[in-house]
């Protein structure tokens, strides 16, 4: 399994993109930086997009990728939960901001949307995909992806503390998890349902107790202007837990 991090931050600029992962060139998770990261031919290789939740930084490129597929007479599968479907059809794809690619062209709409059920594995392009609920300020799932050759990763999407139930459902060889803010913003993180390095440490400690091991960890969704602080605190957590924790970055490639 080849995992490419297209977007590793919670704010967009010339140097940072919104949350977006690409697996084996065909499966995207979250759409915060799809069209801005990929060439047109690379975009057309995409078979499916999985969305974790409805926040704008995770769905931003749904209309733009759909336009490119539409103009190439191609279709794209999008998978997510029913709250995300409701948000997309109510706001982003309601036909007022941009064409409603769920209904256009009428004979073969560009976007084929499939609703996934939490904790029910589904097969997508040969991968086993398990949506696992996480605790965030909007209904959210992380996705455990298992490739045809048995490699497994779990991406949390945005999440706050309280992952103990989620851990019961997953056994990844690589954990990709959000860490949005440094420790001094803990109150803000708890309220907005995000993680800091210390909160990550809590959740990883529970993971280790529950599962009996810790996989290598890659963090995403960092606030770019606070990243130095986050990095220093993550290093302390990695040392305390005696595990590998790496900050993700745009263009990072991971081979599993």
Give residues in contact with Zn ion (CB under 5 A): 55, 57, 158
**CB of residue 138 vs Zn ion: minimum separation in angstroms?**
6
- Nearest of 10, 38, 39 to residue 22 by alpha carbon: 38
Beta-strand pair 48-50/27-29: parallel
Of 132 and 238, CB closest to Zn ion: 132
Of 81 and 152, CB closest to Zn ion: 81
Here the tokens at position 23 are: 């697996």
Of 158 and 233, CB closest to Zn ion: 158
29, containing H or E segment: strand 27-29
Helix then strand then coil, % of the chain, to nearest 5:
30, 25, 45
In angstroms, the CA 18 to CA 20 distance is 6
**CB of residue 180 vs Zn ion: minimum separation in angstroms?**
8
Of 144 and 159, CB closest to Zn ion: 159
Straight-line distance from the first to the last Cα atom of the chain, in angstroms, rounded to the nearest whole number: 5
- Residue pair 48/78 in contact (Cβ under 8 Å)? The answer is yes
**CB of residue 55 vs Zn ion: minimum separation in angstroms?**
3
Of 24 and 158, CB closest to Zn ion: 158
Of 48 and 195, CB closest to Zn ion: 195
**CB of residue 62 vs Zn ion: minimum separation in angstroms?**
14
In angstroms, the CA 240 to CA 71 distance is 52
Beta-strand pair 20-23/27-29: antiparallel
Determine the 3-state secondary structure of 40 from DSSP.
helix
**CB of residue 157 vs Zn ion: minimum separation in angstroms?**
7
Q: Which residues contact 123 (CB under 8 A, 6 or more apart)?
A: 129
**CB of residue 202 vs Zn ion: minimum separation in angstroms?**
20
**CB of residue 136 vs Zn ion: minimum separation in angstroms?**
5
Of 158 and 229, CB closest to Zn ion: 158
Q: What are phi and psi for residue 182, nearest 5 degrees?
A: -75, 170
Here the tokens at position 59 are: 């769905």
């Amino acid at each position: 399994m080849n995992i490419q991090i297209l977007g590793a931050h919670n704010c967009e600029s010339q140097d940072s993109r919104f949350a977006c992962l690409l697996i084996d060139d065909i499966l995207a998770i979250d759409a915060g930086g799809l069209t801005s990261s990929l060439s047109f031919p690379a975009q057309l290789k995409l078979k499916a997009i999985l969305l974790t939740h409805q926040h704008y930084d995770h769905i931003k490129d749904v209309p733009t990728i759909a336009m490119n597929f539409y103009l190439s007479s191609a279709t794209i599968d999008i998978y997510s939960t029913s709250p995300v479907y409701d948000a997309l059809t109510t706001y982003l794809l309601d036909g007022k901001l941009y064409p409603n690619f769920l209904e256009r062209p009428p004979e073969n709409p560009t976007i084929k949307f499939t609703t996934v059920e939490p904790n029910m594995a589904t097969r997508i392009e040969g991968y086993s995909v398990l949506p696992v609920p996480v605790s965030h300020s909007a209904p959210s799932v992380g996705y455990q992806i298992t490739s045809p050759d048995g490699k497994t990763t779990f991406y949390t999407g945005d999440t706050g503390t309280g992952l103990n139930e989620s851990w019961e459902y997953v056994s990844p060889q690589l954990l990709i998890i959000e860490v949005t803010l440094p420790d001094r913003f803990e109150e803000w993180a708890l309220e907005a349902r995000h993680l800091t390095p210390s909160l990550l440490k809590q959740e990883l400690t529970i993971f280790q107790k529950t599962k009996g091991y810790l996989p290598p960890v890659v963090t995403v969704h960092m606030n770019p202007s606070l990243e130095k602080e986050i990095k220093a605190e993550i290093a302390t957590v990695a040392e305390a837990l005696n595990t590998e924790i790496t900050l993700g970055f745009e263009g990072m490639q991971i081979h599993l």
